[in-house]
C-alpha cells in the first residue's frame, strides 16, 4: 500500500530536508523512524525540498509498504522514534497513482520577518530580522512585477538543479502584525511582517533571493521598479544577497480535492 504523511519540523538543527551522508537531515530522521516502526527499510519522496534552517509546517511525503496499520498508528508509532522538533501530523492511505511531488498543483511558502531595533530572542531562528522600518506600499508595488509566468534566473541559486528557470507565481501576500505607529527611540516600530508565496514550483533559494530584494526596496535602498529590472536581467548578479533562512516556512503543497488530503495543520494558527 502507498501511504502519505504530513510532516512538520523546526529546521534549525538540520542540514535541510534531503538525505545526506552525514545523516543530519529531516529526511534521514524521518526514514529512520519509519523504519523502526515498520521494521523494514522505508524510502520517502517529498513534495518540496527545504534548505538548512528552513522550517516545514506541512511537508508531504509518500512511501510504499506491505505493512497494514491504521492511519493514526503511523502517526503515533513514527513520532515515538522522532526527535522533538520533527513530528508526523497525519497519515493517510493513497492510491498508487499519487505522488507527493508530481501530484502537487502548487506549493506555498511563508517568510516571517521581525522589524525591530532589537534582534530576535525567544523567536531566534524562527524569524528573519531587519532593524529599519519597511515601506509597505513600496514592497506591495515591487512584488506585482513577479506575478505570473517568468524566467526567474535572477533569483536562482548556482546549485539549482531545476530543468527550467521558468516558473509561475500565483500570488504574493504581505501582511503586518503589530502596532501601526509609535516609533521608539531608534525610529522603528517593532512588528512582524508575513510574506506568503504560492506558485507552481520554486527554484533553489528563489524565495530567499526574492526576500533580499523585497527588503532592499522596503528599506528605500532601491525603488519598486528595480524588482522588474532584476527579473528581466536574468542574472543572479543583478539581485540582492540571499536572505536568511530563519524565517522561511514551507506551508506545504496544494493537491486537487480528488486525493482527499488535509490542507493545513495546527501550526498554521500559531505562525504570525
- For β-strands 55-64 and 248-254, DSSP reports them as parallel
> Using CA atoms, how far apart are residues 189 and 140, in angstroms rounded to an integer?
19
Total number of residues shown for the chain:
272
Which has the closest alpha carbon to 177: 123, 226, 107? Answer: 123
How many Cβ atoms from other residues are within 10 Å of residue 40's Cβ?
11
Query: What is the helix (H) or strand (E) element at residue 36, kind and residue range?
Result: helix 26-38
> Using CA atoms, how far apart are residues 221 and 203, in angstroms rounded to an integer?
25
* 228-236 own/partner pairs: CB under 8 Å, 24+ apart: 228/145, 230/154, 230/155, 231/145, 231/146, 231/150, 231/151, 231/152, 231/154, 231/155, 233/154, 234/151, 234/153, 234/154, 234/165, 235/153, 235/154, 236/153, 236/154, 236/155, 236/156, 236/157, 236/158, 236/209
> Using CA atoms, how far apart are residues 61 and 110, in angstroms rounded to an integer?
20
For this structure, is 246 an active site residue?
no
> Using CA atoms, how far apart are residues 60 and 80, in angstroms rounded to an integer?
19
Q: Which three cell numbers stand for residue 182?
A: 509609535
Choose, from 28, 51, 225, 269, the residue flagged as catalytic: 51
> Using CA atoms, how far apart are residues 138 and 254, in angstroms rounded to an integer?
29
Q: Angle 206-218/136-143 helices, nearest 10 degrees?
A: 140
- Catalytically annotated residues: 51
Amino acid at each position: 500500500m502507498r501511504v502519505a504523511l504530513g510532516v512538520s519540523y523546526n529546521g534549525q538543527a538540520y542540514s535541510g530536508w534531503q538525505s545526506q551522508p552525514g545523516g543530519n537531515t529531516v529526511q534521514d530522521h524521518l526514514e529512520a523512524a519509519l523504519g523502526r516502526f515498520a521494521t523494514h527499510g522505508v524510502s520517502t519522496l517529498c513534495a518540496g525540498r527545504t534548505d538548512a534552517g528552513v522550517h516545514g509546517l506541512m511537508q508531504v511525503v509518500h512511501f510504499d509498504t506491505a505493512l497494514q496499520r491504521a492511519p493514526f498508528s503511523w502517526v503515533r508509532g513514527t513520532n515515538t522514534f522522532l526527535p522533538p522538533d520533527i513530528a508526523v501530523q497525519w497519515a493517510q492511505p493513497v492510491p498508487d497513482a499519487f505522488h507527493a511531488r508530481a501530484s502537487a498543483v502548487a506549493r506555498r511558502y511563508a517568510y516571517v520577518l521581525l522589524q525591530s531595533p532589537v534582534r530576535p530572542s525567544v523567536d531566534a531562528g524562527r524569524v528573519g530580522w531587519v532593524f529599519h522600518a519597511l515601506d509597505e506600499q513600496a514592497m506591495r508595488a515591487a512584488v506585482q512585477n513577479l506575478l505570473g509566468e517568468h524566467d526567474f534566473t535572477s533569483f536562482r541559486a548556482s546549485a539549482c538543479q531545476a530543468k527550467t528557470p521558468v516558473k509561475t507565481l500565483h500570488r504574493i501576500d504581505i501582511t503586518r502584525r503589530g502596532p501601526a505607529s509609535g516609533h521608539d527611540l531608534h525610529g522603528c516600530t517593532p512588528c512582524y511582517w508575513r510574506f506568503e508565496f504560492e506558485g507552481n514550483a520554486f527554484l533553489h533559494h528563489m524565495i530567499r533571493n526574492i526576500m533580499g530584494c523585497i527588503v532592499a526596496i522596503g528599506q528605500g535602498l532601491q525603488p519598486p521598479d528595480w524588482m522588474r529590472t532584476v527579473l528581466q536581467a536574468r542574472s543572479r548578479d543583478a539581485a540582492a544577497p540571499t536572505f536568511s533562512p530563519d524565517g522561511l516556512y514551507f506551508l506545504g503543497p496544494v493537491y486537487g480535492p480528488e486525493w482527499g488530503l488535509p490542507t493545513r495543520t495546527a501550526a498554521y494558527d500559531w505562525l504570525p
